[in-house]
């Protein structure tokens, strides 16, 4: 099933936008007005000239198999509004208005496209071989050892810091302020343990997080302590748990699990922005294997991460899992797509009780797990001001909706899709509650984030 020629929906295009302003600007360019010489090819390329304020039109070309973009405009946003507008023009049209007809790519677009194809082929040929750095195994081993020693020193220091805190009492933590934690976090960065560093930063934020903070602080201190101890005794842990500990501490690993080929349905895609980094989380569901995987993609601040897979698409591809627990995986070779998923492609879901059990079981493998991916079946969203719930349609139990999810606008979308009737909802469930990400009512998948 080669569906590269299938046009996307407008929603799928808009989901690529790096921010609201780009989405808006792109929408305005999604009409025939400023475009000329636009065309598309069945290999998954779209191109066109967009008239801007200058005398020369911008040359915009998109490889929809990536997707990847190239535009001669000076924008630093990625994809830029021209690429979005072009895709909208291409996606929105019916067959009566051929604003983007099938054609052969002009030279300026063709060159770039051909270059991309060539590189992709090279990559897939090289893909099975070892990456760089395999040259000198002895040097690599020494590097790994040195880093482990540094992390051990960092974990030991952090244990000391936690012990001091508990000797003096959490009540004093409120006065101690953020600076002390920030200093400790920097020490963890120096120790090359970014996982510990970010935990420490979160500890520093808890005293200012409102009522009930001492309980939360104790919980997080305890889990950090657990991670320190696990690292210090990692030789005694079963290999799977040791791998989880390594990844929690922040040691890089490569996705060396066996490649799993499937038709992967995009369940959700959302970004979280920090000061210097935008993290994009993409949840995929294997329609044959029924497994759920998380693909992470990163972008520097202000730039959207380069992998974009809007909800409702499906792609035939291989995924390889990262070591340790959790669903994280890396996208490998793609065979087809992304293309709109047939309506029958839906994740198999569970009821409310099973969702709670699933999180509990997952903690066995990874006690630091905040939440796990769950598709709930037959739940009724029940709006309630500060206390939204997802009520099991067939019994009297419910999952609370996480406070963080209430801050987003998607919950009312969820309520609207349901209208008081049972729906399927994909989201992340954990000790803070359920965060809905995608809903299926009677129609297509509706992204809630």
Partner 1 sequence: MSTTTWEDLVTTALLGTDRRGRTSPTPGALLDGAALHTVRRRAGLRPAPAASRPERAVPDLRDPLPDAARARLAMLLSDRPGVGQGGRRGTAPDLTELLPQWLIAANDRGYAAPPELLPALLDAARGRTDLRPQALLFAGPRALWLARLNPDWKFALRTAPGGSALPSPEDTAGVQQLWNEGLFAERVALLAAVRAHDARAARELLAATWPKERAEDRLMFLDSLRTGLSDADEPFLEQALSDRSRNVRATAAELLSALPGSALAARMAARAASCIALDPARSGITVEAPHECDGAMERDGISPTPPAGRGERSWWLGQLVESAPLATWSRRLGGRRPEEIVGLPVSDDWQGELHAAWCRAAVRQRDADWARALLGTPASPDAGGPGAVSLAERAKLLTTLEAGERADWVAGFIAVHGLSEAFQLLGGCAVPWSEPLGRAVVDALNIARDAGSYPWSFSGVMGLAERCLDPAQATRLESLATLPDEPEDGSPGAVGYWSEAFQRLVGTLRLRAAMRAELAGPG
Near partner 1 in 403-432, by CB under 8 A: 409, 412-413, 415-417, 419-421, 430-431
Closer to partner 1 by Cβ: residue 162 or 200: 162
- Which of 343, 397, 403, 404 touches partner 1 (CB under 8 A)? 397
- Which of 225, 234, 261, 334 touches partner 1 (CB under 8 A)? 225
- Which of 15, 16, 18, 29 touches partner 1 (CB under 8 A)? 29
Bridge partner list, 261? 318
Residues 131-150 touching partner 1, rule: CB under 8 A, are none
- What is the distance between the alpha carbons of residues 405 and 397, in angstroms, rounded to a whole number? 20
Closer to partner 1 by Cβ: residue 115 or 219: 219
Measure Cα distances from 355 to 228, 367, 420 in Å: 29, 17, 21
- Which of 68, 313, 446, 449 touches partner 1 (CB under 8 A)? 446
Give me the least distance between CB of 138 and partner 1, in Å please. Answer: 38
Which of 138-146, 220-228, 252-260, 317-325 is the region at the interface with partner 1 (rule: CB under 8 A)? Answer: 220-228
- Which of 31, 114, 240, 273 touches partner 1 (CB under 8 A)? 31
Closer to partner 1 by Cβ: residue 93 or 333: 93
- Which of 51, 117, 201, 408 touches partner 1 (CB under 8 A)? 51
Residue 36 tokens, joined: 């000329």
Give me the least distance between CB of 191 and partner 1, in Å please. Answer: 20
Give kind and range of the element (H or E) at residue 282: strand 277-286
Closer to partner 1 by Cβ: residue 191 or 355: 355
| Three-state DSSP state, 29 | coil
Closer to partner 1 by Cβ: residue 308 or 401: 401
Regarding 27 and contact with partner 1 (CB under 8 A), the answer is yes
- What is the distance between the alpha carbons of residues 203 and 356, in angstroms, rounded to a whole number? 26
Angle, in degrees to the nearest 10, between helices 178-190 and 194-205: 180
Compute the C-alpha angle 442/445/449, nearest 5°: 130
Bridge partner list, 425? 376, 439
For residue 39, which phi and psi values (nearest 5 degrees)?
-160, 170
For residue 439, which phi and psi values (nearest 5 degrees)?
-130, 150
Q: Does residue 28 contact residue 85 with C-beta atoms inside 8 Å?
A: yes
Regarding 360 and contact with partner 1 (CB under 8 A), the answer is yes
Q: Does residue 317 contact residue 265 with C-beta atoms inside 8 Å?
A: no
Regarding 11 and contact with partner 1 (CB under 8 A), the answer is yes
Regarding 359 and contact with partner 1 (CB under 8 A), the answer is yes
Give me the least distance between CB of 120 and partner 1, in Å please. Answer: 30
- Within 10 angstroms of residue 210's Cβ, the number of other Cβ atoms is 8
Number of residues this chain uses to bind partner 1 (CB under 8 A):
84
Regarding 320 and contact with partner 1 (CB under 8 A), the answer is no
- Which of 5, 127, 168, 302 touches partner 1 (CB under 8 A)? 168
Regarding 399 and contact with partner 1 (CB under 8 A), the answer is yes
Bridge partner list, 277? 300
Regarding 171 and contact with partner 1 (CB under 8 A), the answer is yes
Regarding 30 and contact with partner 1 (CB under 8 A), the answer is yes
Give me the least distance between CB of 136 and partner 1, in Å please. Answer: 40
- What is the distance between the alpha carbons of residues 393 and 424, in angstroms, rounded to a whole number? 11
Torsion of CA 6, 12, 16, 20, to 10 degrees: 150
For residue 353, which phi and psi values (nearest 5 degrees)?
-65, -45
- What is the distance between the alpha carbons of residues 48 and 50, in angstroms, rounded to a whole number? 6
Compute the C-alpha angle 336/426/323, nearest 5°: 65
In sequence order, which ranges of 250-333 are alpha helices (DSSP H)? Answer: none
Residues 76-95 touching partner 1, rule: CB under 8 A, are 88, 91-94
Residue 167 tokens, joined: 């000797």
Closer to partner 1 by Cβ: residue 96 or 272: 96
Which residue, chain included where needed, has tokens 């063709």? Answer: 110
- Which of 103, 222, 240, 403 touches partner 1 (CB under 8 A)? 222
Residues 257-316 touching partner 1, rule: CB under 8 A, are none
Closer to partner 1 by Cβ: residue 62 or 411: 411
The single-letter DSSP state of residue 236 is G
Closer to partner 1 by Cβ: residue 96 or 128: 96
- Which of 167, 175, 276, 407 touches partner 1 (CB under 8 A)? 167
Q: Does residue 299 contact residue 305 with C-beta atoms inside 8 Å?
A: yes
- Which of 97, 139, 140, 277 touches partner 1 (CB under 8 A)? 97
- Which of 103, 166, 205, 273 touches partner 1 (CB under 8 A)? 166
- What is the distance between the alpha carbons of residues 390 and 378, in angstroms, rounded to a whole number? 9
Closer to partner 1 by Cβ: residue 26 or 347: 26
- Which of 169, 179, 238, 258 touches partner 1 (CB under 8 A)? 169
Give me the least distance between CB of 167 and partner 1, in Å please. Answer: 5
């Amino acid at each position: 099933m080669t569906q590269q020629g299938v046009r996307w929906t407008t929603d799928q295009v808009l989901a690529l936008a790096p921010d609201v302003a780009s989405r808006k600007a792109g929408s305005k360019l999604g009409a025939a007005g400023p475009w000329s010489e636009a065309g598309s090819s069945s290999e998954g390329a779209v191109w066109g000239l967009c008239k801007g304020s200058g005398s020369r039109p911008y040359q915009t070309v998109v490889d929809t198999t990536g997707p990847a973009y190239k535009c001669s405009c000076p924008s630093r946003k990625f994809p830029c509004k021209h690429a979005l507008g072009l895709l909208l023009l291409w996606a929105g049209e019916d067959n009566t208005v051929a604003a983007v007809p099938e054609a052969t790519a002009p030279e300026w677009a063709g060159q770039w496209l051909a270059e991309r194809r060539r590189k992709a082929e090279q990559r897939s040929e090289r893909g099975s071989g070892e990456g760089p750095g395999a040259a000198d195994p002895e040097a690599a081993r020494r590097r790994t050892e040195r880093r482990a020693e540094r992390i051990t020193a960092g974990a030991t220091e952090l244990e000391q810091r936690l012990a001091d805190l508990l000797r003096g009492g959490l009540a004093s933590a409120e006065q101690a302020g953020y600076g002390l934690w920030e200093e400790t976090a920097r020490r963890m960065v120096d120790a090359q343990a970014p996982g510990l560093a970010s935990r420490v930063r979160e500890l520093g934020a808890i005293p200012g997080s409102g009522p009930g903070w001492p309980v939360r602080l104790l919980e997080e201190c305890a889990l950090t302590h657990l991670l320190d101890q696990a690292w210090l005794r990692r030789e005694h842990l079963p290999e799977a748990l040791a791998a989880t500990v390594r990844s929690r501490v922040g040691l890089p690993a490569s996705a060396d699990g066996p490649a799993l080929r499937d038709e992967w349905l995009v369940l959700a895609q959302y970004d979280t922005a920090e000061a210097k980094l935008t993290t994009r989380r993409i949840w995929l569901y294997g329609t044959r294997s029924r497994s759920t995987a998380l693909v992470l993609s990163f972008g520097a601040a202000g730039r959207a991460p380069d992998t974009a897979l809007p909800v409702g698409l499906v792609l035939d591809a291989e995924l390889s899992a990262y070591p340790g627990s959790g669903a994280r995986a890396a996208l490998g070779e793609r065979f087809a797509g992304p293309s709109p998923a047939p309506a029958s492609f839906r994740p198999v879901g569970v009821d409310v009780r099973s969702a709670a059990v699933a999180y509990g079981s997952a903690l066995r493998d990874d006690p630091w797990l905040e939440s796990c991916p769950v598709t709930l079946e037959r739940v009724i969203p029940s709006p309630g001001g500060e206390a939204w719930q997802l009520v099991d349609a067939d019994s009297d139990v419910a999952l609370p909706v996480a406070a963080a999810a209430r801050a987003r606008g998607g919950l009312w979308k969820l309520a609207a899709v349901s209208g008081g009737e049972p729906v399927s909802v994909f989201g992340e469930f954990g000790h803070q509650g359920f965060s809905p990400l995608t809903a299926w009512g009677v129609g297509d998948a509706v992204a809630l984030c």
